[in-house]
Amino acid sequence: MHMPKFVGMGSSQRHARLARHVLAGATSLLALSFVAPAHAQDAAPSTSQTQDEEIIVTGIRGSLQRNLDAKRNASGVIEQISSEDIGKFPDSNVAASLQRLPGISIQRDGPRGEPNGVTVRGFGGDFNETLVDGRRLSTATGGRSIDFSTVGSDFVGGLTVLKTPDVSLSSSSIGATINVSYPKPFDRPGFHLAVSASGSIQDDAGKVVPTGGVLISKTFADDSFGILANAIYTRHDTQTNNVFVHGWPGGRYAPCQLAGSTATSCNPTSDNKSAAWAQESNRQTVVGWFEQQFGATQNYTRDERVDGRIALQWKPADNVLLTLDDNYSEQRVNTDNFGFGIWFNQGSLRNVKLDKNGTTTDFTQAGSQTDFTAGTDSNLRRTNQTGLNVKWDATENLQVEADGSWSKSWLNPDGRINSKGADVGYGFGIGPSIGIAVNGDSKDVIPVLHDYGVNGTGSRWADLAAIGSHVTVNIANKNTDEIKQARFGLKWQQDDLTLRFGGSYLDDQFRFRSANTFANNFWQAYSGYGPASGTNGGVALPASLFKGTVSTTNFLPGYTGALPPVLLNFRAADYQAYLTGLGNPQTKTIPGYNTSCCNNAFNGQFAVADDVGSTRDIGEQTWALYVSANFKSEIAGMPFFFNAGVREEVTHVTSTGIGRLPTSITPSTTDPTLLTVNFGNQQAITTKSNYSYLLPSMDLKLELTDALHLRLDASRTLTRPTLNLLTPALNIGVGQRIGALTADGGNPTLQPYLADNFDAALEWYYQRNSYAAVNFFLKDVRNFIVQGVQRQSINGVVDPSTGTLAQFAVSQRVNGPKATVKGVELAWQNTFGNSGFGFIANATFVETNRPYDPSDISQSGFAVTGLANSANFVGFYDKNGIEFRAAANWRDKYLLQFGQAQNTGSFGAEPTFVNSSLQIDLSASYQITKAINIFGEALNITDEVQSTHGRFSNQLLDVFAYGRRFTAGVRYRF
């Protein structure tokens, strides 16, 4: 199936047209809702099941009613998504389902296009704690958030989003606590079998790939023992086109660099003691941002995941329930890419044009190198969680619960080289005077490279005869994250009073190791681009290494601008094999080998060496105690529910790293753009810190009428720093580039973010399966962790390219600013009587007293990240075995983070903004028989792209075109 690309139509035009269609449809549905009968549905459910006189309604409407009932009866503010049937979750991706809820938006993995994270009320993944059946799940990424693409959705029982905390569960999330619930055998006694099989195709990948799963559940011995097991295999293939500018560093130009300058010479300097300073036109005084690296790639990703689960339940007595379960997930993500990337230095730019904001909109750089790149990223992610839960109804009023679990995640446990890179090209003696023109906004215009090709001849852009070897990068990352946790709770319930008391313990141990060809400098072994470029470094490459070309025509849907005509298709593995085949340069003379790079250690093999600066061992132990009370009363005859609790958390952190200081910097003899940092002795560094916080919570609910409910909530919550930020050592890379010296430092004494939260909500449950709600929220947050980037010298080393003290851009995290976030959530769910039609509409509007100020060029610039207005609309039909759903999700522009792929500027951590997006998805199913259901799904039917920009909207950072995906399959249920 092929759908049009909307070539030539800008994103803003497409958004406007789509928005008009969506709003028109919404208006029509809203009008119908006022004339539809406002009474309970009397239609028969699409399917039903009777167990002990309990009716379990399946399908869209059954799921929505369960969600609504849970929201209505909760003491705090929650949202819920439940499965429509065994093996039938509303979306094929967990995060995609969550974005249908008010106040929740998603982030996507660029090359894969998969939703992999969520933002709740403007607070991103690390601010949201994700639990599995009430337990923390380990993640080897080093962050607090999990990648939701690693959570198989087929057999998820439900998702609960707690926007206000439950002190008996957790208070460790400023955004929300997300609890993923899996089915258990006693949920539906008897024998049940669910099987699903489907095939999907992404339009650009053009290959149908399978997904399948099976779930079996059975209870025995008068339902006193049960077992449930499931297994799922999922595969997605995705081809993605990407245009990028890796970093917009801020700095200062000299007037002689600007277009129209009449200076006879140009030697930009900031050293007021240098001879060049005497000429005013050489003084770097003009603020501007420039493109550090510009390029484009095509990526092909094969994403395979296996999920397995087994759950055992046993009732040795009527008042005792034991549950033992194990959840296993293994995901293999393999991405092959090829493209080009061209590096620029601010001091070497000439004929510079700046817009009113200081963005460089055009320039030339003489003698530029042109790099063609290829790479393979191959990562194995494995997670296993085992838990035991015991519930004992000790008396009629007292319930005791104990829970213990172990969870461990591995990144590349097989020790693989997870990233292989190749960089070839031409330059120096035949390097062109390249430039980049920026002609519009990042949402629909890409920069234009001009005067490219050998000696500036465009027809020789990809001249294989001119291309030689440059750098070779291999990386092997190996992480583990192990969590041991236990909790114990008592619950006393009598009449309208419920008391809870308990405690928990959690031990989280995170280990990060990285090895690469930077640590031993093997990456520079054959740098220099070869003899065609007039250097003594690098070797000529045979044309047989290249597998042809890929046209860049219509590379990005909806974007104007132009790229060079083709990308060269080649593989990093083939390139590395060719260089290895040249032999051992220690035993034979190989023209083009960089004899000064590797201390005679390079034997022709691109082996990796341990990067000691990246070593991190972080341990975190948290003890918690809680108590809460919940009672029901009346105020003026109206039912009144009150819940109050407090949780005390004490955390101990131990952090170990390896420190070392630079002693000198050596220039490359084959490539004057490359530098090698040399170090003194290394030393293990260990630090310890601790903190404790009292976290109160209170929820009030007043039922003004049976249908109209008023909620008031107040709480204090925290979010801990991500574990990978707690290293005590400064990490300085061995391999660096001229004009872009960097270092990264952790901070083991970081304190958690702390927030005081307030909610006020009015909910109207005006008919069955329908409600409307408005919820105002406010969060006062302090201890924000900010990343400062400061240019400074380290240990007095000299930069050989300038002859002065080397200036490193050092990134450091500290606690500091306060901020207030406030907003309103609007929600409306409506079904139209017995027609089978209905809709869900949500909108969230947020703001802060600390918005981003693009004019602030101080080192300490700060703003709240993740905040964006958002809206979603889902229209559905569910009747007579037919289900259809159309979903539109919109999110406005927002500040994603501070920091860019290259962040070497003078004005601190540069921002990354995500442009607004609107995605439309369709899904449908048909119940052929009671047991057999066929289904289909079409994602991103309008071919939306994901794009980001820097400080100003025309500073494009990334555009990913991840295409559409179509799925068709069948489910069997018995």
The three-state DSSP-derived secondary structure of 912-945 is EEECCEEEEEEEEEEECCCCEEEEEEEECCCCCC
Looking at residue 57, what is its pLDDT?
A: 56
> Which H/E stretch holds residue 885?
strand 882-891
Using CB atoms within 10 Å of the CB of residue 246, give its burial: 0 to 12 exposed, 13 to 18 middle, 19+ buried.
middle
Whether pLDDT at 7 is above 60: no
Q: What is the arithmetic mean of pLDDT over 338-362? A: 96
Which band of pLDDT confidence, cut at 50, 70 and 90, is reported for residue 294? very high
Report which residue type is found at 700.
L
pLDDT of amino acid 87: 57
Q: Lowest mean pLDDT: which of 18-22, 107-111, 284-288, 923-927?
A: 18-22
Which residue, among 538, 829, 807, 815, has the nearest Cα to 668 in the 3D structure? 538
Check pLDDT > 70 for residue 58.
no
For residue 30, pLDDT over 50 is answered with: no
How many secondary structure helices (H) and strands (E) does the chain include? 4, 54
371 pLDDT band (50/70/90 cuts)? very high
Burial 164-188 (b: 16+ CB within 10 A, else e): bbbbbbbbbbbbbbbbbbbbbbbbb
Cβ-Cβ contacts under 8 Å for 460 (sequence gap 6 or more): 453, 454, 466
Q: How does pLDDT run across 685-730, given as a tens digit for each residue?
A: 899 999 999 999 999 999 999 999 999 999 999 999 888 788 888 8
Q: How confident is the model at residue 905 (pLDDT cuts 50, 70, 90)?
A: confident
Q: What is the pLDDT of residues 489-540, one digit of tens each?
A: 999 999 999 999 999 999 999 999 999 998 899 999 999 999 999 998 999 9
For residue 29, name the pLDDT band (cuts at 50, 70, 90). very low
pLDDT value, residue 374: 98
Long-range CB pairs of 801-809 (<8 Å, 24+ gap) are 801/667, 801/672, 801/675, 801/738, 801/739, 804/271, 806/662, 806/665, 806/741, 807/741, 808/732, 808/741, 808/742, 808/743, 809/740, 809/741, 809/742, 809/743, 809/903, 809/904, 809/905
pLDDT band at 276 (very low <50, low <70, confident <90, very high): very high
- 8 Å CB contact between 524 and 668: yes
438-458: average pLDDT: 95
3-state helix, strand, coil in the chain (%, to 5): 10, 50, 35
219 vs 171: CA distance, rounded Å:
36
CB atoms within 10 A of CB 393: 15
Q: Give the count of alpha carbons within 13 A of 72, CB side only.
A: 21
- pLDDT at position 822 is 94
Q: Is the pLDDT of residue 283 over 90?
A: yes
Write out the two tokens for 52: 């002990």
Q: Which amino acid is at 169?
A: L
Residue written as token pair 């104990």: 402
- pLDDT exceeds 50 at position 21: no
Structure tokens at 506: 């959690």
Q: What is the pLDDT of residue 683?
A: 85
pLDDT in tens, 846-896: 999 999 999 988 766 688 888 889 999 999 999 999 999 999 999 999 998
**C-alpha neighbours within 13 Å on the C-beta side of residue 973:** 18
Mean pLDDT is highest, among 40-54, 782-796, 903-917, for: 903-917
- Per-residue model confidence (pLDDT) at position 500: 97
pLDDT at 4 exceeding the cut of 50: no
Banded pLDDT at 13 (limits 50, 70, 90): very low
Which helix H or strand E contains 96, and what residues bound it?
helix 94-98
Q: What is the pLDDT of residue 38?
A: 34
Q: Is residue 838 within 8 Å of residue 769, measured between CB atoms?
A: yes
pLDDT band at 450 (very low <50, low <70, confident <90, very high): very high
Q: Which has the higher per-residue pLDDT, 414 or 94?
A: 414
Residue 267's pLDDT is 94
pLDDT band at 20 (very low <50, low <70, confident <90, very high): very low
Mean pLDDT of 446-465: 96
Mean pLDDT across the chain, nearest whole number?
A: 88
Identify the pLDDT of residue 80. Answer: 86
* Residue located via tokens 């792929």: 901
Residue type, 47: T
pLDDT at 597: 85
- Region 758-764: mean pLDDT is 96
pLDDT tier, 323 (very low <50, low <70, confident <90, very high otherwise) = very high
The predicted structure's pLDDT at residue 152: 67
- pLDDT at residue 91 tops 70: no
Contacts of 490 (CB under 8 A, 6+ apart): 398, 399, 400, 401, 500, 501, 502
Look at residue 746 and tell me whether its pLDDT is greater than 80: no
The whole-number pLDDT of residue 113 equals 74
Q: What is the band of 18 on the pLDDT scale with cuts at 50, 70, 90?
A: very low
Q: How many CB atoms lie within 10 A of CB 32?
A: 15
The answer, yes or no, to whether residue 62 has pLDDT greater than 50, is: yes
Residue 598 pLDDT exceeds 90: no
**Residues in CB range of 44: below 8 A, 6 or more apart:** none
- Residue 838, pLDDT > 80, answer yes
Q: Which residue has the higher pLDDT, 609 or 123?
A: 609
pLDDT digits 0-9 by tens, 949-971: 999 999 999 999 999 999 999 99
Q: What is the dihedral of CA 462, 464, 466, 471, to 10 degrees?
A: 90
For residue 592, report the phi and psi dihedrals to the nearest 5 degrees: 100, -10
pLDDT at 462: 96
* pLDDT of the residue at 48: 36
